[in-house]
């Protein structure tokens, strides 16, 4: 079906080298190509494709496709190497040492593109994916390698499941074939289209193929006769020329059928291409042909005077030919033909080969790139000059927006300066709302990190987590800002209710009261009366929004103020400097025991040491069990603002390492971590040391840790 097809089993390196030599025989360049082949061969050793053949046949075929569009030696070498960084044990450094930075950069570019997953769900995205491919490929040769890569994958598509076949075909048809067209690489464009059609609409594809086949012999004879007539005519006028009969691609026929035409009505099923030496001869030939064969009205197109954006040039006409057949005739010069078939890429090799004169005009690399940029963008629907348009697109793609990726390779477009929270909200509001941490390119970053182009962003979420109002100062997109605001107006009440319930539970636990018993119907009634509420939910709400304290609620039922308010606190003069008040003693050396690490707010007790002042322990520290006679009452000084070391044992349900998630969840609530150790390896246990302001923050910390689904339980450590 295509001149590019190649019997996989029989493809050898020598054939690829021969193909290159037909347009370039530079010995040094061939050496590099060969080296790239050998390098890839070694690196892919032992790897196989889904189709069953050795992996190396894939890069070899890609290289062969690249020779068919006269790609330069660097492009072909990169074609051989294009999957090595992704799939093999090879670093960019190693490749650069062997092949230099140009080839390595090409391979890196292809690798980068291959990580992106382009879904083709709507038209807007398709336009935008094209822009991304263009915007991300600093060197247009990257795109060309990508096209060759995809073409070979499409040829071997039968090896993958049907659903994937359709997905790949859509992507090829809607994104890659148009890019090939923009770049003027007709060969690749048209084969991609035909292959896609074969998988997307097999019945249509085979129906057209069969009809073409049936009429082939007759058409072949007519085409041959017509070719003779036209050739004789041009010879009469002494115009040197070459004539090719031309098969229309199945896809182009499908396109016309799809627009409602009948198969028998498609007049340019038979087509001729006339290739002459000069532009003037093109017009001359056209005139001569029209004088003999009557042209169809409105079918004449002059793409020489007005080239297509991809620099395609040619004259098109349709005439009533012999035997009553219509013929579509294209007339162009050799060079125009070259560009039409292979794109401008083909000129690079000509340049190095000291080839055609016109091609030599394109020696400046920057100029070539600009030409490519121009060619990529379809100018027809825009009135701007090509340069302005290119600049504006580049600006839009490269300056105002950044493109970041999910770990799966989905593209997320964001304005410059956007943060991971913007990214998270762009994926889904649920993702945004439950964000607890971010990893960019494998490193942890803060939520206000400024995302860079091409960052790979992993958002860690926790289904129990909710947005913070501070986020409003962090996010850059209105979309995210509105969603956060929305959350608060909608959910503030819920959040407060939850918070109030939590504080009440905590306080009841502290007083050794059972939650369900405490909130009996009778008690709820009493509390509601006392603090002016309607129901239990409102009780939670008043506590959660700070209108009442948990003690205020509990004390309605349990008149035991003394249990929480230390007896001595009012009677003892406060030593403002000290964080511990020892009853009856003003100045004494006090230190916090490091076996149980009490923090502000813990129930504590002092132990009178021999010669080292008073050591303060938590009330339930096992080291105190047999020391009753030397203990002394101590209380916290409410005025202190110290931070206290606390050590937590975190038991997990899994042997997977969640250190990163753990640290993420802790840093989210603004707590300084002193250290984390992994204790057991089976179900991992972490020993976490950090500083907290007191029991309230410690409770928050424990809660935050418990929200991680992998956590089994959290305990404060005793030694």
In the complex, the residues that contact Mn ion under the rule CB under 5 A are 83, 149
Least spacing, CB of residue 86 vs Mn ion, in Å: 8
Cβ atoms of 263 and 256 within 8 Å: the answer is no
Helices (H), 201-344: 202-214, 216-236, 250-258, 279-292, 334-342
Q: Residues 6 or more apart from 336 whose CB is under 8 A from it? A: 304, 312, 313, 314
Burial 413-432 (b: 16+ CB within 10 A, else e): ebeeebbbbbbbbbbebebb
DSSP 450-480: PP-TT-BEEEEE-TT----TTHHHH---HHH
Torsion of CA 434, 438, 444, 447, to 10 degrees: -90
Burial 262-281 (b: 16+ CB within 10 A, else e): eeeebbbbbbbbbbbeebeb
664: closest CA among 454, 470, 465? 465
Residue 191 annotated among the catalytic residues of the structure: no
Residue with tokens 């600093």: 138
How many angstroms separate the CA atoms of 117 and 409, rounded?
Answer: 5
Torsion of CA 115, 120, 123, 129, to 10 degrees: 10
403: closest CA among 115, 167, 141? 115
> Of 15, 17, 87, 538, which one is the catalytic site residue?
87
Query: Is the CB of 81 or the CB of 177 nearer to Mn ion?
Result: 81
> Of 86, 98, 207, 505, which one is the catalytic site residue?
86
Residue 86 annotated among the catalytic residues of the structure: yes
Query: Is the CB of 149 or the CB of 194 nearer to Mn ion?
Result: 149
Angle at 34 between CA 28 and CA 38, to 5 degrees: 145
- Residue 508: C-alpha distances to residues 503, 552, 605 (Å): 9, 12, 22
Least spacing, CB of residue 62 vs Mn ion, in Å: 6
* Closest residue by beta carbon to Mn ion: 149
Least spacing, CB of residue 499 vs Mn ion, in Å: 53
Helix H or strand E segment including 134? helix 123-136
707: closest CA among 438, 465, 444, 431? 465
Q: Which residues face 676 on adjacent strands?
A: 688
How many angstroms separate the CA atoms of 55 and 45, rounded?
Answer: 8
Question: At 48, is the secondary structure helix, strand, or coil?
Answer: strand
Query: Is the CB of 88 or the CB of 445 nearer to Mn ion?
Result: 88
Q: Is the dihedral of CA 258, 246, 355, 63 positive or negative?
A: positive
Query: Is the CB of 83 or the CB of 193 nearer to Mn ion?
Result: 83
How many angstroms separate the CA atoms of 343 and 414, rounded?
Answer: 33
Active site residue ranges: 86-87
């Amino acid at each position: 079906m295509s001149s590019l097809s190649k019997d996989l089993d029989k493809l050898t390196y020598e054939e690829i080298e021969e193909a290159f030599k037909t347009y370039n025989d530079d010995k040094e360049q061939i050496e590099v190509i060969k080296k790239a082949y050998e390098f890839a061969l070694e690196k892919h050793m032992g790897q196989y494709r889904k189709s069953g053949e050795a992996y190396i046949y894939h890069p070899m075929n890609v290289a062969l496709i690249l020779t068919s569009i006269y790609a330069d030696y660097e492009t072909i070498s990169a074609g051989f190497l294009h999957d090595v960084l992704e799939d093999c044990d090879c670093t960019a450094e190693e490749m650069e040492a062997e092949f230099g930075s140009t080839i390595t950069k090409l391979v890196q570019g292809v690798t980068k593109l291959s990580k992106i997953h382009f879904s083709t769900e709507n038209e807007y995205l398709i336009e935008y994916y094209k822009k991304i491919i263009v915007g991300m490929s600093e060197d247009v040769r990257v795109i060309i390698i990508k096209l060759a890569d995809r073409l070979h994958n499409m040829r071997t598509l039968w090896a993958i499941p049907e659903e994937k076949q359709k997905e790949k075909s859509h992507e090829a048809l809607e994104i890659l074939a148009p890019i090939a067209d923009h770049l003027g690489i007709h060969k690749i464009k048209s084969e991609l289209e035909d292959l896609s059609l074969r998988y997307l609409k097999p019945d249509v594809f085979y129906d057209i193929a069969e009809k073409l086949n049936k009429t082939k012999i007759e058409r072949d004879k007519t085409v041959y006769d017509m070719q003779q007539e036209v050739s004789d005519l041009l010879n009469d006028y002494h115009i040197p020329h070459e004539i090719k009969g031309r098969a229309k691609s199945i896809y182009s026929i499908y396109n016309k059928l799809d627009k409602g035409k009948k198969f028998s009505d498609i007049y340019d099923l038979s087509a001729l291409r006339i290739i002459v030496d000069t532009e003037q001869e093109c017009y001359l030939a056209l005139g001569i042909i029209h004088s003999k064969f009557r042209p169809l009205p409105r079918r004449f197109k002059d793409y020489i005077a007005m080239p297509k954006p991809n620099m395609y040039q040619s004259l098109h006409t349709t005439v009533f030919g012999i035997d009553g057949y219509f013929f579509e005739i294209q007339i162009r010069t050799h060079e125009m033909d070259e560009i039409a078939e292979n794109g401008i890429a083909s000129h690079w090799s000509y340049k190095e080969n000291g080839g055609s004169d016109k091609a030599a005009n394109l020696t400046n690399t920057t100029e070539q790139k600009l030409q490519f940029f121009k060619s990529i963008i379809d100018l027809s629907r825009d009135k701007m000059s090509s340069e302005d348009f290119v600049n504006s697109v580049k600006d839009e793609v490269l300056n105002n927006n950044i493109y970041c990726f999910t770990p799966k390779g989905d593209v997320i477009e964001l304005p410059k300066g956007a943060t991971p929270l913007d990214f998270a909200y762009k994926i889904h509001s649920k993702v945004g709302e439950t964000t607890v941490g971010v990893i960019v390119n494998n490193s942890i970053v803060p939520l206000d990190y400024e995302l860079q182009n091409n960052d790979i962003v992993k958002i860690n979420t926790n289904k129990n987590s909710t947005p913070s109002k501070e986020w409003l100062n962090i996010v850059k997109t209105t979309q995210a800002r509105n969603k956060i605001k929305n959350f608060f107006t909608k959910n503030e009440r819920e959040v407060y209710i939850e918070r109030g319930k939590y504080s009440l539970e905590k306080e009841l636990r502290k007083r050794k009261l059972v939650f369900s018993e405490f909130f009996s119907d009778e008690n709820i009634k009493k509390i509601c009366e006392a603090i002016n509420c309607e129901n239990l939910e409102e009780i939670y709400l008043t506590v959660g929004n700070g209108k009442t304290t948990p003690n205020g609620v509990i004390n309605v039922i349990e008149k035991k103020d003394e249990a929480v308010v230390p007896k001595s606190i009012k009677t003892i003069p406060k030593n403002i400097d000290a964080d511990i008040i020892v009853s009856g003693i003003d100045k004494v050396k006090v230190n916090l025991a490091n076996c149980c690490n009490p923090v502000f707010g813990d129930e504590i007790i002092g132990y009178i040491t021999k010669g080292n002042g008073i050591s303060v322990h938590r009330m339930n520290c096992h080291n105190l069990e047999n020391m009753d006679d030397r203990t002394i009452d101590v209380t916290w000084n409410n005025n202190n603002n110290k931070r206290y070391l606390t050590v937590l044992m975190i038991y997990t349900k899994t042997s997977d390492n969640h250190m990163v998630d753990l640290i993420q969840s802790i840093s989210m609530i603004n707590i300084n971590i002193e250290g984390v150790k992994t204790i057991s390896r089976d179900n991992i246990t972490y020993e976490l040391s950090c500083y907290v302001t007191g029991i309230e923050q410690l409770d928050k910390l424990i809660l935050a840790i418990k929200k991680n689904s992998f956590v089994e339980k959290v305990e404060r450590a005793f030694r």
